[in-house]
């Protein structure tokens, strides 16, 4: 298992065509148009993680990364995909779909708890512990520490295995089709966030 750091784009031969890719992002904050995209993390579930870092003032050209993210034949796995899809759409100008979101799946099948963070999911479903200590660190600095790299990589390291377990639970509870409908809507939900409706339920009666 290795963590690879790339500057501004992926190499051209990292992932096999069509393989599902776990995706996560690190930004300078939680307001997408204000807080720039600093890092995109990816994994095909094979044991290695790839981090693509963008410098201040980047033009976000990244043709290889964009090709991977925009590939309609490649499933993208997220945890809270709504945020990552919006960040990728805003800065890289691609819709990173089709989508599977482990947080959404968790909310549909783990109705016995309100704890749907990645740390809790990995602990309960996979029996492993991950550290979230670097979650609020400065991702825009000139150097990423080893702790930051490991944290960023851990955000995609477990998503393939989580999907397998969550799929079993969705099937058991008869919610697979409902989950898929939610996943299909996530890119539109991200567009609503970017267009100015981040906290508004446009389907509400009032």
Q: What pLDDT score does 48 carry?
A: 95
> 179 pLDDT exceeds 90?
yes
Q: What pLDDT score does 133 carry?
A: 64
Q: What pLDDT score does 132 carry?
A: 66
Q: What pLDDT score does 137 carry?
A: 86
Provide the 10 A C-beta neighbour count for residue 2: 8
Packing angle between helix 176-195 and helix 81-92, nearest 10 degrees? 40
Q: Which of 25-29, 85-89, 129-133, 198-202 has the lowest mean pLDDT?
A: 129-133
Q: Where are the domains of the chain?
A: 3-195
Q: What pLDDT score does 134 carry?
A: 59
Give residue for tokens 């993390």.
41
Q: What is the mean pLDDT of the chain?
A: 95
- Strands of the sheet containing 49-53, edge to edge, are 3-7, 49-53, 37-43, 21-27, 76-78, 99-101
Third-level CATH fold of 3-195: Nucleotidyltransferase; domain 5 (3.30.420)
Question: Tens digit of pLDDT for each residue in 32-74?
Answer: 999 999 999 999 999 999 999 999 999 999 999 999 999 999 9
Give residue for tokens 């919006």.
86
Average pLDDT over residues 108-137: 89
Q: What pLDDT score does 145 carry?
A: 93
Average pLDDT over residues 69-83: 97
- Return d(Cα 72, Cα 114) in angstroms, integer: 32
Share above pLDDT 70 across residues of the chain, in percent, rounded to a whole number:
98
DSSP state of 168: H
Q: Which of 2-11, 70-79, 122-131 has the lowest mean pLDDT?
A: 122-131
- Label residue 31 by pLDDT band (50, 70, 90): very high
């Amino acid at each position: 298992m290795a963590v690879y750091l790339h500057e501004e784009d992926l190499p051209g031969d990292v992932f096999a065509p069509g393989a599902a890719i776990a995706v996560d992002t690190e930004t300078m904050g939680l307001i997408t148009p204000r807080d720039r995209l600093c890092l995109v993390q990816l994994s095909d579930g094979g044991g290695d993680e790839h981090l693509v870092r963008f410098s201040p003032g980047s033009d976000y050209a990244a043709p290889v990364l964009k090709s991977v993210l925009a590939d309609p034949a490649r499933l993208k796995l997220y945890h809270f995909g709504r945020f990552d899809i919006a960040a990728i759409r805003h800065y890289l100008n691609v819709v990173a779909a089709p989508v599977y979101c482990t947080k959404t799946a968790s909310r549909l099948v783990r109705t016995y708890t309100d704890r749907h963070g990645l740390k809790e999911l990995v602990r309960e479903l996979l029996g492993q512990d991950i550290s979230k200590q670097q979650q609020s660190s400065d991702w825009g600095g000139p150097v990423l520490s080893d702790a930051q790299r490991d944290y960023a990589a851990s955000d995609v390291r477990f998503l393939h295995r989580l999907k397998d377990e969550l799929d079993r639970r969705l099937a058991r509870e008869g919610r697979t089709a409902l989950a898929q409908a939610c996943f299909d809507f996530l890119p539109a939900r991200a567009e609503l966030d970017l267009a100015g409706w981040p906290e508004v339920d446009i389907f509400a009666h009032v």
